[in-house]
Amino acid sequence: MDLIALFDFVDGAVFSAEVESLAVTLRGARSGERLGRPCDVAIDAAEFWRFVPDHERAEVLEVLRAVAADGVARSIEHPARIAGRPDAWFRTSARALDADDGPRLVGVIMDITNVHHVETQSLEIESWLVALGETMPLDFWICDLDGACVLQNPASRHRRGNLLGRTSPDWDRCTQRALRGESTREELVAELAGAGRHYVRIVSPVRRDGAVHAVLGVEIDVTELKETEERLRRSLAELRETQDSLVRRKQLAAMGEMSALVAHEVRNPLGVVSNALALLRRQTTGSPATELCEIIDEEVKRLDRLVANLLDSVRPMRLELAPALVEEVVDGALAHALRADGRERGIRVHRSVDHTIPPMLVDANLLDRALRNVFQNALQAMPSSGDLFLAVERELDADGAWTRVSIRDSGPGLPQDVRDRMFDPFVTTRATGSGLGLTIVRRVVEEHHGRLEISSEAGCGTTCVLRLPLPSSAG
């Protein structure tokens, strides 16, 4: 009776059954209430088990007959038809017992509805996780505490082969860190079907009760994302270039208006001054005023060059393209700049040229003029002596093939405020400079669909790089 009273506190019912007929007698009032059956009355087996659906009822009776036959305790879980509870589940357990009135079966019918639902949900979740792992377009694996792979999804097996039960040297470093409780994230490139693919690998410890129990690794193919990022980067670069071009066009338009005014208001008086100076020279030959005339003449010529440069910087360029070897144009511009500088022996030229670069369609005169400006700036950055490094070589990047002309001096470099505005008109570090040289150089390079880059650090010299596009057949 104490045992029956105990079951009154749980969701179960205590029963006994005859070995031959399996007629059931419920024990305890609560047992009868739970199953809707009278207590302490023998009920025919077929009648008693009507609360179990037909198919499952036959299985329950078969289990009870087996217990009656061999005396071995057994259990079976089955649904139940209980009023107001269409999803009820029970576990029926029975064993043989030698009672005073002969052998009988005794057992318990426990309500396991909640447990069954939890187990069902767990199985469904497990099924979903398995299906997810089988179909997800990423690699994942789980390693045990020894670093051996215990789970590997098909995507990972396809790319790496079957590693179940084995360790992977490629995973070992990340796995060891995860076993120490660290999570890692890294990017890597791997070959797949003859092409490079970009992956992000994330390896983390799996904890249970605060302790590391296993290691989970995931590798995600981010190749398309990388390609999209690259396309976006190029688009942004093109947008910035377009915006810069629009700003420069506005500047050139404003300078064009100003240059027309300068040409009229400055050049005409300069012509008058120059003519008057010629007459004055004839009248002062051999006198002390001759030196003053020379100074005036130099300043008039300097102003005339300034006006010419100003007009050139805004005047539309019309390229006269013809095949030419870029190295020959570079060498000619360098020779002219050295002669004009007058310090051929004080400058050490270090020259590196790729002679396999084919002739290119360029405007040799305009390119020569641009290069003279660059060489002149480099030489003037080294007032006493120095090293000039010149390289003409091929270059290949994501945008195509280029002829790269690099000119580097060993001068003091440019201060930050000048570097930020070096392409703006009239920005110069020299008292006699016009500040239009680099403006013209950039226009010439861009008219050739090229690129101009200048890098400099105080105390480390300045490097000017001109890139001219090579024909696709020459890349």
Confidence band, pLDDT 50/70/90 cuts, at residue 63 = very high
Beta-bridge partners for 140: 218
Confidence band, pLDDT 50/70/90 cuts, at residue 367 = very high
pLDDT > 70? residue 156: yes
Most confident by average pLDDT, 124-128, 231-235, 282-286:
231-235
Are residues 354 and 334 part of one domain?
yes
Instruction: Mark which of 288, 316, 344 sits at the end of a domain.
Output: 316
Are residues 465 and 331 part of one domain?
yes
Are residues 414 and 376 part of one domain?
yes
Are residues 189 and 306 part of one domain?
no
pLDDT of residue 245: 74
Domain membership of residue 387 (yes or no) is yes
Q: Which domain, by its residues, includes 198?
A: 136-221
Are residues 64 and 163 part of one domain?
no
Please compute, for residue 145, the number of CA atoms within 13 A of its CA located in the half-sphere on the CB side: 5
Average pLDDT, the chain: 81
| Structure token digits, residue 32 | 């009868």
Instruction: Mark which of 260, 282, 316 sits at the end of a domain.
Output: 316
pLDDT > 50? residue 410: yes
Residue type for 435, please? G
Confidence band, pLDDT 50/70/90 cuts, at residue 467 = very high
Query: Which has the minimum average pLDDT: 279-288, 348-357, 449-458?
Result: 279-288
Q: Is the Cβ–Cβ distance between 418 and 435 less than 8 Å?
A: no
Quick count: other Cβ atoms within 10 Å of Cβ 220? 15
- Pairing of the two strands 195-208 and 184-192: antiparallel
Give mean pLDDT, residues 337-359: 83
**Residue of 424, 387, 427 whose CA lies nearest to 407:** 387
Angstrom distance (rounded) from CA 466 to CA 322: 19
Query: Which has the minimum average pLDDT: 53-62, 132-141, 168-177, 233-242?
Result: 132-141
From its phi and psi, is residue 388 left (phi > 0), alpha (psi between -120 and 50) or beta?
beta
Q: Is the Cβ–Cβ distance between 235 and 276 less than 8 Å?
A: no
**Residue of 197, 217, 89 whose CA lies nearest to 143:** 217
Confidence band, pLDDT 50/70/90 cuts, at residue 326 = very high
Give mean pLDDT, residues 39-62: 84
Domain membership of residue 127 (yes or no) is no
Domain membership of residue 122 (yes or no) is no
Secondary structure element (H or E) that encloses residue 352, with its range: strand 347-353
pTM summary value: 0.43
pLDDT tens per residue, range 162-181 = 888 888 888 888 888 998 99
pLDDT of residue 431: 47
Domain membership of residue 212 (yes or no) is yes
Backbone angles phi, psi at 231, to 5 degrees: -65, -40
pLDDT tens per residue, range 283-316 = 777 677 777 777 787 777 777 777 776 666 666 6
pLDDT > 60? residue 259: yes
Domain membership of residue 128 (yes or no) is no
Distances (CA, A) of 180 to 75, 142, 143, 219, 354: 45, 15, 14, 20, 53
Domain membership of residue 74 (yes or no) is yes
Angstrom distance (rounded) from CA 464 to CA 456: 9
Total domains in the fold of the chain: 4
Q: Helix, strand, or coil here: 425?
A: coil
Confidence band, pLDDT 50/70/90 cuts, at residue 33 = low
**CA quadruple 344, 348, 354, 357: dihedral positive or negative?**
negative
Are residues 456 and 339 part of one domain?
yes
User: In terms of pLDDT, which residue wins out, 362 or 83?
Assistant: 362
CATH number at residue 366: 3.30.565.10
Quick count: other Cβ atoms within 10 Å of Cβ 310? 23
Domain membership of residue 337 (yes or no) is yes
pLDDT of residue 1: 46
